[in-house]
Each structure stands twice: as structure tokens, then as C-alpha cells.
Structure 1
Amino acid sequence: MIRLLLAFLMLPLLAGAAPAPRDWTKTVTRTADGAYRIGNPAAKVKLVEYLSYTCPHCAHYAGQSGPTLREKFIRSGSTSVELRHATRDRLDLAATVIARCAGPAGFLGTSEQLFAKQDDWYPQGMRFEQSNAQRMALYPQGAQVRALAYGAGLADIGKARGLSDAALTACFDDDAAILQIAAMSDKSWKAIAAAAAPQPGGTPTFVVNGKAYASLDWAKLEKILRAAGAK
């Protein structure tokens, strides 16, 4: 009888318990052209970022924006971000393949690691490419990019994120996926040029709810996002 009474008394408490809010940073989808969209598909604020992994400004932006953009705006569901590649060189392509090899679930975390460790792998990759240019010229294109990924230490970042050597090899041997990156990058650079005209454009470039912005730092972009409804 006492147990039944206690259970009855607890019913209002159980009924009033609010469910845990959804973490929208875990929702990652791939668009038709191969970009990755993170967050609520129905978010009020839709951010597009054109990025390059060898771009120091992109790395700086990633470090500054993460605590607010990812942990507040995206997590809450108010904002989604679509990351579109604008590759600049073979080392950038190698990093892009590593990030995408992680798949939708691992893409964002791997991208963040690539930017966080850019000061290490970028100069290492430049030195490796210069020292091994003649030997690498004998390889097929895919093998050249794969060798660069290993020589730069990019493969180690992928392995730390759970990728095996076999998985990495499969990703670098996927000609269709690499062609998709090239096609996306071509479109991205055209969009970047249009956003920055008449000045030359660069990465990162942003689009917020359809309006393009060039040469923004995180402080300025945050104000634009908040004004649009990010919270």
C-alpha cells in the first residue's frame, strides 16, 4: 500500500520532467554536391562557409568560433552550417580527403583537428613535397596525394580519429570522390570571387541566409548571426 502511494505521489514529478534538449551538432548530412551540413535542417539561420585547410585565416576562425558557433548556435538548433571545400593546392586536397574519409559522423571533429594542428602538418607537408618532388612525380595523381598525406602527418590525424591505413588508401583511391571535391572547389571559388568582387576573394568566405560576406572575422560574423536569430 505504501509503495503504491509513493508511486502515485511521484507521478506529477515524472510527468513534469522535461526531456533533454536535442544536441544538433550530432546531426550531419551530406548534400547532393558533396558538402557537409551540420545542425538542424530547419534552422532559422543557415550559414555556409567556404574553407581551405591550408588557409591560416580559416584555422584562426575555426579556433575562435567553435565555443559559440558549435556549442551554442548549432547545438541549440537555431543555426546550421554547411561546409564547402575550396581547395587551394595538393596539400589542401590531401587534408580534404582525410576529413571526408571520416564520413558524416567524424567529419566535423576531424576538420577541427586539422585546423587545430595546422601549424604542425602544413610546414611539414611543404618540406616533404619539396624534398620528394622528383620521386612523387613518377606516381599516379592519387598516389601523390596519398604520399603527401602521410609525409605531412595528415594520415596520423586521421588514424587518431579512428581511420585505418586500409580506409585511408580506399579514400585516396576513390577517383569519383576526388573529382567531386574538384567540382565543388571550382564552384566554391566562383562563389568566393562573386562575393568579393571587385577585390580578389579568399577563404573563409561566408553566406548567411543567402547573403554573402567576404573578409569577415568571427567577431563580425557573430554579430550578423545573432542579428539573424542565432542563439
Structure 2
Amino acid sequence: MRFLKLLLALLLGLTAGTAMAQAKRDWRAVVTPTSTGTWVIGNPAAKVKLVEYLSYTCPHCADFVAESKPVLMDEFVRSGTVSLEVRHAVRDGLDLAAAMYARCAGPRNFAAVHGLVFANQKALLDKAVSIAPPPGGDRDAALRTIADGSGLTTLVRARLPKAPAACLTDAATRDQLIAGTRAAFDKIAGTPSFELDGELIQGTDWARLEPRLRAAGAR
């Protein structure tokens, strides 16, 4: 009987330890690609599922990321109660290059590249506006020109698992982004836009979104 009690205590201790470890896990480090080419940051089994349609050259998107990060990412996603699915809605060449680099970075560095681009958006855009496309209409050359000339390539190079040029010439990724963009703009009027637990919601500012997330169970 004493042995059984000791065994039960051990099992209960292991169960409690596992639960505590899960509760303390930083889910921001977990990034999962989906079959449709989108990326989920956080706990894939989170109770609250937030989808953001965004563009890397959209100033309002950058504002939202900066304003929401202390709570959305550093509390809700970190705790595992909210997952954030990133759906790219590409608007221009710099945006396409940034999205291709982010995807090329893979699960390990997707979130890092995503954050770097938004944190440096203004500097990238300031340089990009004066870049002339190369002659000849070569799409791959045009992407490399704007990525290199804007400073984007230098910004993210250390986070890429292969040569930047190889990331930008990945036709399958490019085609998936273009198809995803078309599908996005069939549903949304602009970026950023959000779906909460499968429902497209009105309002694109953090002040209105935060209470809805809390009401849905975000902690």
C-alpha cells in the first residue's frame, strides 16, 4: 500500500510538472506553416484564433503591429491562449520580396523576419521609392533590384537558410503568394483586416480588437 501511495504521488507530481511546463511555454517561438501557405504564430490549438491580412508596405499594418505587440504577442500569444495566422495581401514589389523572404526563413525565423520588416518599414520605403526597375521586364531581376536597393536583403540576410537570390526566385512560393493575395482581396477591402474565430470583423485598430479578444478568452 505504501508503494502504491508513493507511485501515485510520483505520477501526480509528473502530471503537475507537465502542466506547469506547458503553462510557462513561450508560444511566440512556435511557428507553423499551413497547407495553404499561411503561417500561424503561437499555439496551433489556441482557444482564440486571430487571422490578420497584412501587407509589409502598409503603414497602418506597421502601426497595428507596434501598438498591439505588448499585449497581443507578449501576453496573449505567449500564453498560448491566442494564435495569430498571418495571411499576406501583397500590394507591390517590395511587399512581395519581403513576404518571400519571410517564408524562405522557415518556421525558425519567420517571426523574426516578419518583425524586422515592420520595425524598419519606413526606412525601406524611403529607399524603395527612388529605385528604377531594371530594363527588360525580368520579374526576378526586378525583385532582386528592389530588395537589394531598399536595404531589405541586408536586413534579413542573416535569418535566411539559403542565398537571398534563391529565396526570390522560388516560383512556387511566388505563385502561392499571388494566389493568396487574390483570395484575400476577394474577402477584404484593405489591410490590415482581421478574422476572429472564423468571422471577418469590423474595425482595424487595436483599441477595438483587444476587448473582443479578451471576451473570446484571450489571457
TM-score category of the 2 structures, normalised to the smaller one? 0.7 to 0.9
Is the counterpart of residue 212 in structure 1 residue 215 in structure 2? no
CA distance in 1, matches of 2:33, 2:166: 19
Matching residue's letter, 2:159: G
RMSD: 1.9
AA aligned to 2:166 is A
Q: Which residue of 2 aligns with 1:189?
A: 185
Give the alignment of 1:6-45 within 5 angstroms: 15=13, 18=17, 19-20=20-21, 21-45=24-48
Pairing 1:162–2:165 present:
no
CA deviation vs aligned residue, 1:33-66 (integer Å, no higher than 9, x gap): 1000111111110000000001000000000111
State which of 146, 170, 173 in structure 2 corresponds to 1:177: 173
Residues 143 and 172 in structure 1, CA contact (< 8 A), matched pair in contact too: no
Shift of 1:139: 4.9
CA distance in 2, matches of 1:178, 1:84: 14
**Matched residue, 1:59:** 62
Whether the aligned pair in 2 keeps the contact of 1:101 and 1:167 (CA below 8 Å) is no
TM-score calculated relative to the size of structure 1: 0.83
How many residues are paired up? 204
User: 1 CA distance for matches of 2:186 and 2:102?
Assistant: 23
CA spacing shift, 1:73–1:94, aligned 2, 3 Å: same
Higher-Rg structure is 1
TM-score of the superposition, structure 2-length normalised?
0.87
Deviation beyond 4 Å, 4+ runs, structure 1: 15-19
How far, CA to CA, are the matches of 1:30 and 1:163 in structure 2? 16
**Contact 1:204/1:215, CA 8 A, preserved across alignment:** no
Query: Percent same amino acid among aligned pairs?
Result: 45
Gaps of 5+ in 1: 1-10, 193-200
State the match for 1:88 in structure 2. 91
Q: Distance in 2 between matches of 1:51 and 1:173?
A: 22
Structure 2 unaligned runs (5+)?
1-8
